[in-house]
A and B are shown apart, each in its own frame.
Chain A
């Protein structure tokens, strides 16, 4: 593969469950913050101050450093109108860009379709985890779904090699397109062929990898390490997707949120250090989002489902700083007790698709939206 490392690569880290915006990017100078959050707040002296208005959660030290280095963009007040406050519906909307109707195609699936219209590379997109994220689903688009990179392959128990090759050859024929078999069978057929091809390609990645960076033990560290291995193997992967959760902190928020952000921040720092060590960080942008922010008032021990949230973009090509504005916390400006989003999430996707991935955003995000200029 020639020069594939120079193509822009996006790594999406989904914060599943509804990350609390106000305790991630803390509006520490706003006196209302502590009024709304008598129990679930970050103490003034613990906030990692980024400026006179906002600061990160205390467990985000690595990200605060990266922010000061100019490599983190904070995108405020992201969401969409009439947030349903349901995890599943909201996550679907973020994945498909269809707030009005039910979408089945994911925005990144459409992006992959544009990057590799002839489906020449079955590992253009890699989804880390046991299941495939809907953001990556689009008809005919191959996505390698990798749960454990070290043990990835088809019919690996058949030996000797000669026999396995014979069976895999036949497998390929059995999975080749059948006329008139319908979309489900077609999908299965394509998935089987992609699995076969993808395994051959991805098996190279851990073999080629060596690094002095020692990642932590958390699930997100393992996922980002596998992503680094695949990226460094230069297999032409342009879209990586992984998640961390659950951020659904209705109760016991302070401890849970702390644990999650400690894991995420450390893993992100290690990931970029690893890429940097291999001189492979320049073409990688990481994007963090959650399906919604949480309610402004705490409920005593946690926070309930809210609306407007925050996104982060991280990488050397990201123009660090703040984008958009923190939604007003004035009582009269809240909608059913929630921050009102002032930036459509599809605008944020537009920046990523147009300015980073260099693709036409309109068909991918489903229209034209005002975009923050963090790339």
Chain B
């Protein structure tokens, strides 16, 4: 891989913004480099320092997007809009992180509103304690319905939530027995949901958490070597006291923020790629009492994070949101937002509707001939839209580099990342540009530049963050 002529500070800042956010324009990277890496980390970890996205601006344009019920596209639109517009991108990145762990889908919940509420909870609490998040999720009506805890009764136990809490949300396969699943489920009997009165005549009914004491199993439970009359919260405390849980969450953090790991079902069989890093994060979780913001600060400042450039395949949300934030022209909500949510789904990540409670398979599994086609077509189309202010800025910056095709290619790689590409890719791009000689900055020259940018975003290297 060759790293183009980028300045190392810009390069590191670009890496941070790709991982902790959805990328950034060159203007933003330069501005942040002035402020410095540590201060930028602090800022990202303090979303309250930024003005929140004005959802009322959004709803003034599209009132139908409030409480979208079961309407596909509309259901995800507000979140997609927030990701595009937010000045606090890590906050939204955390929502995505948790959504892939606590994967809850409208295919069953049949009600986007309730899953949106869960995302909003991640937005408010995502950088706080993991225990609090687990408690909120356990009481989330969307999750209760998704994993049938409303069917988990003192006299007939439904194991769905109890099992996934252990298998997917905290410990991972191999760290508990079938008996533990049963006992864990018993502790959550009576944790159910109820309907509030509808907001409008003919409106949908909102759900809220409800505990029904008569339906709770108060008898003694044997769970992970402890015995007592545990309720759900005590079960969560026991789970969090086990080292396996810290390892499991640490591996999730590593895979999402640092470098692609194998898929979650493989974790009981395959060790982490960088066990030291995962142990470091697990220790940070334990010593901070699972405070996610504290752990992330250590992660972003670690050497293993800084070294792992371009070692994750971008997920479809990252592809779409980072492209839109780059090309701009998105200051007002528009019907295009619906197309963009659809694009994320076509690339294999139908937000608020994961394929199962396991969430999506990450890394290279995002790529197949169909999704690669969708990714390439989407980015290529937007980067060719010269009416977008971000595209104009890119063109104007590249023009400064002169007229020599090789210089133009290197400048494109620099401005679009800075990207690291193979010698082969670079020389193909140069060869492509040299065919028509030096650039002259008239309409034809700009068209040639756009063609080059379209090829650049179609490369293999562009699939990585």
Contacts and interface: CB of A to CB of B under 8 A. Distances in A.
A174 B358 contact: no
Contacts of B156: 299-300
Contacts of B108: 246, 248
Q: Summarize B's interface: helix, strand, loop or mixed.
A: helix
B432 A131 contact: no
Nearest to A146: B370
A131 B368 contact: yes
A299 B346 contact: no
Given A86-B167, A157-B377, A187-B364, A300 B151 contact: yes
Given A88-B358, A155-B377, A184-B364, A102 B265 contact: yes
A189 B151 contact: no
A173 B455 CA distance: 11
Contacts of B197: none
B451 interface: yes
A50 B364 CA distance: 46
B463 A127 contact: no
A254 interface: no
A195 B373 contact: yes
Nearest to A156: B377
B103 to A, nearest CB: 11
Contacts of B393: none
B265 A92 contact: yes
Nearest to A17: B356
B367 A187 contact: yes
A187 B265 CA distance: 22
B159 interface: yes
Interface stretch (A29-37, A64-72, A108-116, A163-171): A163-171
A301 B149 CA distance: 12
Interface in A246-260: 246, 248, 250-251
A89 interface: yes
Interface stretch (B60-68, B210-218, B422-430): B422-430
B372 A89 contact: no
Interface in A141-163: 142-148, 152-158, 163
Given A130-B371, A246-B356, A102 B270 contact: yes
Contacts of A131: 348, 355, 361, 365, 368, 371
A191 interface: yes
A87 B159 CA distance: 13
B153 interface: yes
B381 interface: yes
A118 to B, nearest CB: 18
B4 interface: no
Contact of B369 (A17, A89, A167, A191): A191
Interface residues of B, number: 59
A16 B384 CA distance: 40
A308 interface: no
Nearest to B451: A167
B345 interface: yes
Interface in A167-196: 167, 170-171, 173-175, 178, 181, 184-185, 187-189, 191-192, 194-195
A132 interface: yes
B369 A188 contact: no
Contacts of A187: 364, 367
Nearest to A177: B424
A282 interface: no
Interface residues of A, number: 62
Contact of B377 (A154, A191, A248, A302): A154
A302 B159 CA distance: 12
Given A102-B269, A130-B346, A198 B148 contact: no
B424 A178 contact: yes
Contact of B148 (A88, A89, A145, A250): A250
Contact of A181 (B147, B367, B372, B422): B422
A192 B372 contact: yes
B368 A192 contact: no
B59 to A, nearest CB: 29
Interface in A66-99: 84-89, 92
Most A C-beta atoms less than 10 A away, residue of B151, B167, B347: B151
B362 to A, nearest CB: 12
A301 B358 contact: no
A192 B370 CA distance: 9
B44 to A, nearest CB: 28
A72 to B, nearest CB: 28
A336 interface: yes
A304 interface: yes
B369 A251 contact: no
B104 interface: no
A101 interface: yes
B373 A304 contact: no
Given A154-B376, A158-B454, A301-B151, A130 B158 contact: no
A332 to B, nearest CB: 19
A199 interface: yes
Given A144-B370, A145-B369, A86 B376 contact: no
Interface string B429-465: 1001000000000000000000100110011100100
B31 interface: no
B404 to A, nearest CB: 19
Contact of B460 (A89, A188, A250, A251): A188
A195 B153 contact: no
Contact of A195 (B107, B369, B381, B422): B369
B455 A143 contact: no
A101 B262 CA distance: 14
Contacts of A102: 265-266, 269-270
Given A250-B148, A304-B160, A167 B370 contact: no
A87 B178 CA distance: 15
B150 interface: yes
Contact of A250 (B160, B173, B269): B160
Contact of B455 (A174, A301, A305): A174
Given A188-B463, A302-B151, A157 B381 contact: yes
B380 interface: yes
Contacts of A16: 355-356
A192 B346 contact: no
Interface of B: 107-108, 147-148, 150-151, 153, 156, 158-160, 163, 167, 173, 178, 264-266, 269-270, 313, 345-348, 350, 355-358, 361, 364-365, 367-374, 376-377, 380-381, 384, 422, 424-425, 428-429, 432, 451, 454-455, 458-460, 463
11 contacts: A87-B358, A102-B270, A130-B345, A130-B350, A145-B368, A148-B346, A157-B384, A171-B455, A174-B460, A192-B369, A304-B159
Instruction: Give me the 3 closest cross-chain CB pairs, A-B, nearest first.
Output: A145-B370, A195-B369, A132-B368
